């Protein structure tokens, strides 16, 4: 797939002077956006730049206040997803549109279900359809598995098959790789290239510029609801895109002073735990975490990372083993006590576990500390004044973009939602920081900021456990890297361990220990 070829191709999508105003925000401000038939077009921009909004408009979920849309040259009015589907538009949403309690098959068929006479749902034909699609695009799925039981990678895959099943010619993928491992992302790109070869058109939203450069033909950059520029992938580079997005130069890689590890802060011995589905997730795993160091945990999603963090944070009870915080046994403590003991936790499920979305930013900034002496008189009566001042301080310090401390967290963009959590957890001046996917789905501006804060925290002497699906992130921040595979730590590598070696270890490949 090449840009030249793209240039020759006719326009599949033209969006002209699109304006969309939400209470208080101009999400799209006279946006011009066009995509050539048979190309992969990347759409990038900070959180809240307006990408999802623009795409939701294209898919009929939102209605523009003004502007016009042409599909294959024809002016169209898209009143809802039905119209979009009819126009051959398919969309994989930023937040999956999957029904956990349904089977993969039912999820994919939904809306275009095969039926036997009498309107009975036809399981057999559903299976056939899916098998066919799997063969054609190499996207293997078990139609009878319960969607909720699948790892995100496969759910992502199901979303794509869902779109293909509807025979979409124009595919919109809103942050499809946000939750994927490098391997999964690579597979996905393979699929996308295949689709484009078939003449399909793809719009691809991502915060990961590497991917964008790797897979796209053209790039549109958005900033604060406006188009900041159009680029041809081959003629640009990360730094340029980043500058366009943020409006200033961005450090794509934090430079680390060498760590000065202190005494052991967290000692984990033979820790075992089971997942929600009752299967063993952690198998007698042990490690030590020192003050003043960042220990990265690398691993393919679903190898026990989530459970590890939950157990350490006290939100999940271990089945065996021991956890010591500075020689104090915290194995049995509940979340509140663990927190009180000095363990801070940035949960991976930002919107579900990290925030009370309908609470104000200020209220969220004391979540978990509502009974601290500083915020509650006698641990009972809230000190609203103190809370408000605290909130103002963190909002300033962590540059949280919010109209006021009173604003409901729900209305913040994810990047800023994430900043709220980071601010809260770091604000607690913890002994140990558990950071799970701290920058998932967050734009590079915010990523840079969060990374700097984590490193600063380390230099202050905090012991940091960093879990991330981003090898880059792990490698750029960690002093040591523990590779997690099937609930065990298969190896502890130095922070500069080569990517391919880690990749190998992560996928169960045995490699000669590289020390550390």
Partner 1 sequence: MTALGDIGHLLFTADLWHATLAAAVLLLLPALGGVVSERSGVVNIAMEGMMLTGAFFAVAADLIVHNPWLAALVAILAGGVMALVHAVVAIRFRADQIVSGIAINIFATGITVFLINRFYGLQDVGHVPPAELLPNLQIPLLDQIPFVGRVLFQQNVVVYVALILLVVIHVLLFRTRLGLRIRAVGEHPEAADTAGIHVYRIRYGAVISSGLLSGLSGAFLAIGISNTFVPNMTDGRGYIALAAMIFGKWTPFGAFIACLIFGLGQAIYDNNSIIHVSQYLLSMLPYILTLVVLAGLVGRAQPPAADGIPYTPGIE
Partner 2 sequence: MAASTTSAGRRAPAPLIPSIRRAVRALAVRLGSVVFAFLLGAVIVAATGGNPVAAYQALICGGFGLLCTGGENAGLQISNTVVFLTPLIMTGVAVALPFRAGLFNIGAEGQLIVGAIACTAVGVHFATLPTAVLLPLVLIAGMAAGACWAGVVGVLKATTGAHEVVTTIMLNYVAQWLLRYLIIGGPLQLKNGFSVSSPIGAGAHLPRLLPNSNTLIIFGLPASVYRIHTGLLVALAAAAIYAFVLWRTAFGYEVRAVGQSQKAARYAGVSVRRTIILTMLVSGAFAGLAGAVQIAAVDHNLTDKYFADTTGFDAIAVALLGLGTAAGIVLAAILFGALHAGGAVMQADAGISGNLVYVLQALILFSIAANFLRSLKLRLPAIGRATGTPAAEVPATAAVAEVRAALHDDEGIA
Q: Is 397 in the site for partner 2 (CB under 8 A)?
A: no
Cα–Cα separations (whole angstroms), residue 339 to 314, 361, 422, 468, 507: 8, 20, 15, 21, 33
Q: Is 452 in the site for partner 2 (CB under 8 A)?
A: no
∠ CA 358-467-395 to the nearest 5 degrees? 40
Residues 6+ positions from 436 with CB-CB distance below 8 Å:
305, 306, 309, 345, 346, 347, 348, 467, 468
User: CB of 420: closest distance to partner 2 in angstroms?
Assistant: 12
Give the CB-side neighbour count of residue 484, counting CA atoms within 13 A.
30
**What are all long-range contacts of 130-137, with beta carbons under 8 Å and residues at least 24 apart?**
130/104, 130/105, 130/161, 130/165, 133/161, 133/164, 133/165, 134/161, 137/161, 137/164, 137/191, 137/194, 137/195
Among 410, 407, 370, residue whose Cα is nearest residue 386: 370
Q: Is 358 in the site for partner 2 (CB under 8 A)?
A: yes
Q: Is 377 in the site for partner 1 (CB under 8 A)?
A: no
Select from ligand ATP, Mg ion, partner 1, none the partner in contact with residue 50, using the beta carbon and a kind-dependent cut-off of 5 to 8 Å. ligand ATP
Which helix (H) or strand (E) covers residue 440, if one does?
Answer: none
With tokens 């945990």, the residue in question is 297
Site string for partner 1, 145-174 (x = CB under 8 A): -----------------x---x--------
The one segment of 3-11, 80-88, 183-191, 413-421 that binds ligand ATP by CB under 6 A: 413-421
Contacting residue, 9, 367, 504, 511, with partner 2 by CB under 8 A: 367
User: CB of 95: closest distance to Mg ion in angstroms?
Assistant: 8
Q: Is 112 in the site for partner 1 (CB under 8 A)?
A: yes
Residue 118 or 515 having the CB closest to partner 1: 118
| Distance of alpha carbon 85 from alpha carbon 61, whole angstroms | 12
Q: Is 389 in the site for partner 2 (CB under 8 A)?
A: yes
Contacting residue, 28, 52, 103, 418, with Mg ion by CB under 5 A: 52
Q: Is 65 in the site for partner 1 (CB under 8 A)?
A: no
Among 132, 165, 126, residue whose Cα is nearest residue 145: 126
Site string for ligand ATP, 81-110 (x = CB under 6 A): -------------xx---------------
The one segment of 33-41, 177-185, 357-365, 395-403 that binds partner 2 by CB under 8 A: 357-365
Positions 301 through 320 that interact with partner 2 (CB under 8 A): 313-315
Residue 432 or 483 having the CB closest to partner 2: 432
User: CB of 345: closest distance to partner 2 in angstroms?
Assistant: 7
Alpha-carbon torsion, ordered 347, 352, 358, 359, to 10 deg = -20
Among 331, 505, 339, 346, residue whose Cα is nearest residue 430: 339
Site string for Mg ion, 164-203 (x = CB under 5 A): ----------------------------------------
Q: Is 59 in the site for partner 1 (CB under 8 A)?
A: yes
Strand locations in 301-450, DSSP E?
Answer: 320-325, 328-329, 343-346, 376-377, 381-382, 432-436
Residue 162 or 369 having the CB closest to partner 1: 162
Residue 159 or 425 having the CB closest to partner 2: 425
Site string for ligand ATP, 163-202 (x = CB under 6 A): ------------x---------------------------
| Distance of alpha carbon 209 from alpha carbon 448, whole angstroms | 13
Cα of 505 vs its chain's centroid, Å: 23
Contacting residue, 139, 366, 412, 465, with ligand ATP by CB under 6 A: 412
Select from Mg ion, partner 2, ligand ATP, none the partner in contact with residue 315, using the beta carbon and a kind-dependent cut-off of 5 to 8 Å. partner 2
Among 194, 164, 173, residue whose Cα is nearest residue 38: 194
Rg (CA), the chain: 24
Among 253, 268, 257, residue whose Cα is nearest residue 432: 268
∠ CA 25-29-32 to the nearest 5 degrees? 150
* Residue 331 neighbours by CB distance under 10 Å: 18
Select from partner 2, ligand ATP, partner 1, none the partner in contact with residue 8, using the beta carbon and a kind-dependent cut-off of 5 to 8 Å. none
Residues that bind partner 2 (CB under 8 A): 22-24, 313-315, 334-340, 345, 347, 349, 352-360, 362-363, 366-377, 379-391, 393, 405-406, 408, 410-411, 427-429
Residues that bind Mg ion (CB under 5 A): 52, 94, 414
Residues that bind ligand ATP (CB under 6 A): 22, 25, 27, 45, 47-53, 94-95, 175, 410-415, 417, 441-443
């Amino acid at each position: 797939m090449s840009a030249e070829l793209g240039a020759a191709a006719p326009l599949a999508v033209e969006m002209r002077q699109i304006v969309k105003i939400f209470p208080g925000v101009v999400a799209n401000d006279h946006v011009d956006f066009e995509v050539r038939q048979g190309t992969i077009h990347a759409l990038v921009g900070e959180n809240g730049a307006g990408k999802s909004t623009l795409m939701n408009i294209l898919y009929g979920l939102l209605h523009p206040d003004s502007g016009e849309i042409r599909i294959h040259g024809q002016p169209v009015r898209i009143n809802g997803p039905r119209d979009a589907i009819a126009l051959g538009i398919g969309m994989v949403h930023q937040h999956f549109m999957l029904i956990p309690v349904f089977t993969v098959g039912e999820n994919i068929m939904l809306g275009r279900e095969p039926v036997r006479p009498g309107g009975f749902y036809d399981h057999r034909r559903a299976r056939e359809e899916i098998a066919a699609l799997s063969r054609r695009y190499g996207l293997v799925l078990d139609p009878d598995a319960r969607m909720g039981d699948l790892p995100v990678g496969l759910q992502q895959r199901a979303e794509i098959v869902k779109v293909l099943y509807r025979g979409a010619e124009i595919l919109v993928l809103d942050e499809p790789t946000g939750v994927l491992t490098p391997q999964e992302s690579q597979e996905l790109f393979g699929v996308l290239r295949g689709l484009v070869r078939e003449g399909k058109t793809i719009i691809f939203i991502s915060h990961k510029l590497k991917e964008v450069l790797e897979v796209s033909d053209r790039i549109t950059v958005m900033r604060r609801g406006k188009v900041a520029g159009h680029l041809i992938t081959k003629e640009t580079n990360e730094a340029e895109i980043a500058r366009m997005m943020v409006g200033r130069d961005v450090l794509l890689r934090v430079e680390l002073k060498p760590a000065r590890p202190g005494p052991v802060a967290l000692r984990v011995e033979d820790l075992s735990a089971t997942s929600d589905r009752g299967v063993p997730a952690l198998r007698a795993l042990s490690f030590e975490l020192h003050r003043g160091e960042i220990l990265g945990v690398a691993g393919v999603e679903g190898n026990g990372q989530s459970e590890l963090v939950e157990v350490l944070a006290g939100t999940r009870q271990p089945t065996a083993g021991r956890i010591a915080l500075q020689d104090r046994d915290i194995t049995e403590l509940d979340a509140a006590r663990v927190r009180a003991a000095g363990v801070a936790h940035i949960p991976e499920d930002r919107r579900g576990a990290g925030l009370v979305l309908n609470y104000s930013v200020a209220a969220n900034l004391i979540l978990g500390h509502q009974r601290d002496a500083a915020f509650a008189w006698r641990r009972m009566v809230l000190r609203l004044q103190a809370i408000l001042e605290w909130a103002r301080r963190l909002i300033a310090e962590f540059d949280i973009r919010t109209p006021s401390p009173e604003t409901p967290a729900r209305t913040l963009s994810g990047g800023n939602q994430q900043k709220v959590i980071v601010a809260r957890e770091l604000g607690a001046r913890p002994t140990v920081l558990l950071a799970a996917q701290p920058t998932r789905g967050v734009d590079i501006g915010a990523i840079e900021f969060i990374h700097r804060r984590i490193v600063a925290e380390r230099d202050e002497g905090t012991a940091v456990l960093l879990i991330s699906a981003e090898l880059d992130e792990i490698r750029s921040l960690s002093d040591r890297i523990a590779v997690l595979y099937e609930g065990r730590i298969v190896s502890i590598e130095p922070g500069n361990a080569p990517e391919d070696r880690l990749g190998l270890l992560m996928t169960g490949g045995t490699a000669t220990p590289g020390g550390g």
